[in-house]
Structure 1
Amino acid sequence: MIKQILFIITLLITFGVFAYSVKRLWGFFRLTKPAYPIKNIGARISHTLNIAFGQTKIFRKPVIGLMHALVFWGFLVITLGSIEMVVDGVSGQDRLFASTGWFYDIVIASGDVFALLIIVFIKLFILRRMFLKIKRFAGVEMTPKANWDALLSLYFIGFLMVSLICFNMGYISNHPNGYEGVYPVSAFLVNLFGWDFGWLQELGWWVHILLIFIFANYLPYSKHFHVFLSIPNVFLANLEPLTKYPNLDSITREVKLMLDPEAAYDENAEVARFGVKDVEDVSWKNYMDSLSCTQCGRCTDVCPANITGKLLSPRKIFVDLRKRMDEKGPLVIAGKDDKKSLLRDYISEEEIWACTSCNACAQECPIDISHPNLIMDMRRYLVMEEATAPAGLNVMFANIENNGAPWQFSPEDRMKWAE
């Protein structure tokens, strides 16, 4: 009874802290603009099964991709066992899901094996991050804090798996005459050492549960928030071709007013901003992308501008968006302004004009973040609000305005080449 009461109190505290984090993020989402409509649910489910659950983009790097996929799939299985632990803690019962029979045996056995695999892979991930000079793990956006955040999350995951195996070993030792579930790894370890691990059951249970609760409340402030958001982000991805950039509704309205003399101009309509200057101008999907970003660097690794030494790093665009929202979001909600902006104070003009709009970054991203869409919107702001663009583009714009084409000669002379 005491254990049950302590667990319920701990669970309520966990939900309370997590609810605060969700409320904070919801307040930031409310500052953003609408995105595209969410439709074609069947196609979205198929896309999610392929990209998110199937991890197909991850396998473009076969070895490390397989390791990451196994960790992901293992987490899905182990989550089912963790849900049972929470239900057991609230109800004061033990192994409530065991009544599912063979399905329970498969889930528990898979979780036991995956726990060991994840421990091995997490150790390799830590050694790889600490001692191998992986180029895509570096960059101005990858601050010491970001690297420590990655290592801390890996340690969290590793200790979660260790505590799970310890709990299983304790459970097996305390039930010598038979137990619920199948434990290939834990039972092997108990038999191998031949010791009484019964004391580990209660300790392992509490350590595992508390690590889950702490980790869940750490994630919203970590780059590993993709643990929660990667699957929803893939489901909500834009299913249009990558090269199709959405028209701005504000521009469409302006063009219709110019083409239709009879159209009524609404003097009370809010003056729309063309493009993106700061976090209030981005869409909710842009912001969700920034929260979901794993900072794996696959986008920057394939970016031709970055490869050739340009300043652009597609990963940095969304790291900066998240940082800027964390900085400005509370100020906007409080009715204040810091006189800074995402464009220029965080992301320079040189960065966004370096983009070739090839969409290699969006194609490579394992969770379907569309970097060029945000970059194009920042370009739109510069051109349409400030008339700021590189000299070559300004010449082209002037020619289009004066000659109806990008070339610097009169439309009357356009067919002289045929003579």
Structure 2
Amino acid sequence: MLSLTERLLFILLTVICLTAAAYTFTDMFKIILSGQGQLGMDRAPQRVLAGVKALFSQGRILRRRKITSVFHWLVAYAFIFYGLVNVVDLAKGFTEFDVPGVVGDIYRLIADVLSVAGLTAVVYFIVRRFIVADPHLKTRENVLLHPSARDGIARDSMFVALFILLHLGFRFLGESFHIALHGADVFQPFATAVSTLWTSAGMGPAALEWWVHASWWLALGLILVFIPYFPTTKHAHLFMGPLNFMTRPDRPALGTLDKIDFDDETIEQFGVSTLSDLSQTQILDAFACIMCNRCQDACPAYATGKELSPAALEINKRYYIKENMSGLADGSREQIPLMGMAISESAVWACTSCGACVDVCPVGNEPMF
């Protein structure tokens, strides 16, 4: 359990980080709500169920890139379960609370296994992007891509990967230090195995207790520090993806375009010109995008060498928003045309409205609609 000083410091850090997060999250939702129309809010139970199903099933992820998808599945479930782990660890830090009995045994076993699974998966993704340099993660030079995106995507990916690696890693190490201090735990086989390193190294009770506290601070402190940055990173897909499934528009069939009433004389502009001309769900798509390029792989126009990449469209929107977030949120930023910023004219004409990008997107985006 934390000392009184530690508790006060943690509360102070929480207030600072959540205050900062309130500003960034408010900006994000202001930008989304600046779009046209409304997010789908009817049939609330069905929509909530769709979001929950998308989050827990990870169904669309497994359609392509089978091996990579399995590793993403491991990271996703580790992070979902860590929502519970973080709450329990927070309670342990401030009280004598622990999950009791058989439920506690099962909880510790799942946390131990998912910690190792998640860490293994993150290492896989780091190797895949930065050592193997998987070509699926790149976009051809003839495709319009925001100047900050080609290098920025890699930096953002490393930032997110290190955050997950350190968050899971310090929590796992904290358990190993705790086990070294209090004895082996059959329901935490991996952490128990690592704990033998500390006992073999001759670490005493005082040192182990210090590391238990340090690991707790680093694991939970990272979460607090990272929260304000969520809207600016692709990690926002954790909650924006399910929200996308909950609020997406109803379409009679895949590939059905929104109707334009050319007889309505009150309409001063057909189609869109700037970001605020897009619908709210189209702006939400940019925040939900995980930048995995699955839609790019599925696009027949991209496969034939044309300038169209559905992924690039969402990425360009996202980087434009990221660089102008405060101005777009308060309306002070003069918007520039989407044509030439988010997509080229040639790419627009290359789209066949086949819906392949929509069908494959794991976060429910509709890039070309």
Which TM bucket (shorter chain)? 0.7 to 0.9
- My pick for the range that moved more, 44-53 or 274-283, is 44-53
- My pick for the range that moved more, 23-32 or 118-127, is 23-32
Equivalents in 2 of 1:335, 1:40: separation in Å?
Answer: 32
Scaled by the length of structure 1, what TM-score is found? 0.77
Match of 1:30 in 2: 33
Counterpart of 1:98, as a letter, is V
Counterpart of 1:242, as a letter, is L
Match of 2:130 in 1: 130
Higher relative contact order (CA closer than 8 Å, sequence separation 6+): 2
Deviation at 1:20, TM superposition (A): 1.1
The one of 189, 193, 200 equivalent to 1:184 is: 189
Equivalents in 1 of 2:250, 2:344: separation in Å?
Answer: 29
**Do 1:331 and 1:337's aligned partners in 2 also have CA atoms closer than 8 Å?**
yes
Deviations 1:356-392 (A, max 9, x none): 111111111111101121xxxxxxxxxxxxxxxxxxx
Deviation at 1:239, TM superposition (A): 4.4
- Which runs of no fewer than 5 residues in structure 1 stay unpaired? 258-268, 374-419
1:295-314 counterparts in 2 under 5 A?
295-314=291-310
Equivalents in 2 of 1:120, 1:352: separation in Å?
Answer: 40
Match of 1:21 in 2: 24
Matched, 1:98 2:103: no
User: Cα–Cα, structure 1 residues 152 and 345, in superposed 2: closer, same or farther, change >3 Å?
Assistant: closer
Equivalents in 1 of 2:333, 2:288: separation in Å?
Answer: 26
Give me the identity figure in percent: 24
- My pick for the range that moved more, 213-222 or 160-169, is 213-222
Match of 1:113 in 2: 113
Match of 2:277 in 1: 281
- My pick for the range that moved more, 333-342 or 217-226, is 333-342
Deviations 1:289-310 (A, max 9, x none): 1001000000001111011010
Deviation at 1:326, TM superposition (A): 4.0
Deviation at 1:216, TM superposition (A): 2.1
Equivalents in 2 of 1:116, 1:46: separation in Å?
Answer: 30
The one of 70, 79, 83 equivalent to 1:79 is: 83
User: Cα–Cα, structure 1 residues 230 and 109, in superposed 2: closer, same or farther, change >3 Å?
Assistant: same
Deviation at 1:166, TM superposition (A): 1.3
Deviation at 1:45, TM superposition (A): 4.3
Greater gyration radius: 1
1:8-407 counterparts in 2 under 5 A?
8-35=11-38, 37-60=40-63, 61-89=65-93, 92-94=94-96, 96-99=97-100, 101-139=101-139, 141=145, 142-176=149-183, 182-191=187-196, 194-195=199-200, 196=203, 197-240=208-251, 241-248=253-260, 251=261, 254-255=263-264, 272-326=268-322, 330-331=326-327, 336=332, 338=334, 340-373=336-369
Equivalents in 2 of 1:203, 1:243: separation in Å?
Answer: 52
**Do 2:51 and 2:244's aligned partners in 1 also have CA atoms closer than 8 Å?**
no
Equivalents in 2 of 1:202, 1:79: separation in Å?
Answer: 20
**Do 2:316 and 2:341's aligned partners in 1 also have CA atoms closer than 8 Å?**
no
Deviation at 1:55, TM superposition (A): 1.1
Deviation at 1:97, TM superposition (A): 4.7
Deviation at 1:153, TM superposition (A): 1.0
Equivalents in 2 of 1:36, 1:339: separation in Å?
Answer: 22
Equivalents in 2 of 1:146, 1:13: separation in Å?
Answer: 28
Counterpart of 1:320, as a letter, is N
Counterpart of 2:95, as a letter, is Q
Equivalents in 2 of 1:4, 1:36: separation in Å?
Answer: 40
SS at match of 1:174: helix
**Do 2:295 and 2:310's aligned partners in 1 also have CA atoms closer than 8 Å?**
yes
- My pick for the range that moved more, 223-232 or 145-154, is 223-232
Equivalents in 2 of 1:184, 1:11: separation in Å?
Answer: 32
Equivalents in 1 of 2:292, 2:368: separation in Å?
Answer: 17
Deviation at 1:233, TM superposition (A): 1.8
Counterpart of 1:244, as a letter, is T
SS at match of 1:358: coil
Scaled by the length of structure 2, what TM-score is found? 0.86
Deviation at 1:191, TM superposition (A): 3.9
- My pick for the range that moved more, 139-148 or 308-317, is 139-148
Match of 1:261 in 2: none
Deviations 1:196-229 (A, max 9, x none): 4443201100111111112222222112221232
**Do 1:169 and 1:198's aligned partners in 2 also have CA atoms closer than 8 Å?**
no
Q: How many residues align?
A: 351
**Do 1:48 and 1:235's aligned partners in 2 also have CA atoms closer than 8 Å?**
yes
**Do 1:173 and 1:198's aligned partners in 2 also have CA atoms closer than 8 Å?**
no
Deviation at 1:320, TM superposition (A): 1.6
- Which runs of no fewer than 5 residues in structure 2 stay unpaired? none
Counterpart of 1:129, as a letter, is R
